[in-house]
Amino acid sequence: MVMKARRGIAALVVGAAMLTITACGSDDDSSTGTAAGTAEAETAVADQPADTGFKPINEGQLTVGMNLQFKPQMYLDDGEPAGYDVELLKELAPDLGAELNIQNLDFNGLIPGLQSNQFDMVSVGLSATPERQEVVDFTRGYVPYAQTIGVPADKASEITSADQLNQKGTVITALQGSTAETLAKETFPDATVKGFPDQNAAFLEVATGRADAVVVESYLLAQFDASNPGKLAEAETAEPLHVEYGSWAVPKGNEEFVKFLDTWLCEKQNDGTLAEIYERVFEVDEMPPMPEGC
């Protein structure tokens, strides 16, 4: 989700759906969208702790905007939210004295939703770009991403440099509004970059021969390969196009809440919680290095 917030934001909200993780489920008829499932909260909610800066839009809840289509980082498992971000938020919510309330929206609606006070925060691996920092605030990184080039599997060994794809007539795909799309435009100025509102559509455009390559987080490419073996593979370049970190986004101006979240993330980074969740969920032996400064 590199998802590295990685992802850009337009103003249109499409296909909103609410998911609430509480002890008794979600039965709020005033909410918009379609209920997509509930799960019991793992920890009883205590009174809200002091000095967190947390000012919930819904009393007793941590309301988080997400886009649950990026397995294993965030996705639906039998109708229930699952993945790295979800497990991390389940750790966070009790420390804020809140129950976790996940709202699953189209990616392009997340930052506008945060600006209009639909959520307390957005967790979708956003990169803290200068443009985004003008409208929302960001925490330190909580998830690492490596942006890579996906090509038809039978051409992977032939593509050893990004320069080979930077030419007129070459078509590069990416998730619309994402950091990957921005990176593709910067890396391949002579090629045609096509953004798609759905990540799978960007993959399929390449897998079916209508495009030459896709710029995407490496773990998302691995997930596509696991479901569609032999279709796409990572180009055999010397290194990824870019490595960055996804952050949580919060409403502009609440410095105390950002400070609390940064401290909380540092604690979880130092005590091994981030690595334990990442390695288990992503099924890897070791989590990539995280930002220093804790």
100's tokens: 């976790």
More confidently predicted of 239 and 36 = 239
Whether residue 198 is predicted with pLDDT greater than 70 in this model: the reply is yes
pLDDT, position 50: 66
pLDDT, position 262: 98
How far is residue 162 CA from its own chain's centroid?
A: 25
Whether residue 57 is predicted with pLDDT greater than 60 in this model: the reply is yes
pLDDT, position 193: 98
Domain covering 17-144+245-282 assigned CATH 2.40.50.140 in the classification: no
pLDDT in tens, 172-190: 999 999 989 999 999 999 9
Helix (H) or strand (E) holding 4: none
Whether residue 47 is predicted with pLDDT greater than 70 in this model: the reply is no
Largest Cα separation within the chain, whole Å, is 60
Q: What is the DSSP string of 19-37?
A: EEE-SS----TTS-S----
Whether residue 37 is predicted with pLDDT greater than 50 in this model: the reply is no
Query: If you average pLDDT over every residue of the chain, what do you get?
Result: 85
Average pLDDT for residues 31-52, to the nearest whole number? 46
Report domain extents, the chain.
17-144+245-282, 146-242
pLDDT in tens, 107-158: 999 999 999 999 999 999 998 999 999 999 999 999 998 899 999 999 999 9
Helix axes 273-282 and 255-270, enclosed angle (nearest 10): 70
pLDDT, position 285: 75
17-144+245-282 and 146-242 agree in CATH topology: yes
39's tokens: 């799960």
Domain 146-242 CATH (choose: 3.40.50.720, 3.30.930.10, 3.90.226.10, 3.40.190.10) = 3.40.190.10
Of 27-41, 42-56, 105-119, the one with minimum mean pLDDT is: 27-41
